[in-house]
Amino acid sequence: MAERRVTIGWAEGLHARPASIFVRAVTATGVPMTIAKPDGKPVNAASMLGLLGLGAEGGEEVVLASEAEGADSALDRVAKLVHEGLDELPAA
């Protein structure tokens, strides 16, 4: 399983607008992945409800993971988005 540990770069955490950007970015990769707080229960990273239920705040670490083909590249792209608090998924 590929995984990336990343610190949330959005000051407001993964709530409202950043959560929407994150879910769209995950969906755009076409790679199923999960997100969790360290030692927490993973949730579907493409689920807005799951993501909001995570309660991840700015500056907290989260773990992105996937077993799918192409996971390394997809996780790198999404990790960059989260770490830098970008408004959209970086170009491939």
* Rounded CA Rg of the chain: 11
Catalytic residue, from 15, 24, 37, 83: name it.
Answer: 15
How many CA atoms lie within 13 Å of 4's alpha carbon, on the beta-carbon side?
20
Does the annotation mark 15 as catalytic?
yes
Residue 1 CB: number of other CB atoms within 10 A? 8
Residues marked active site are found at: 15
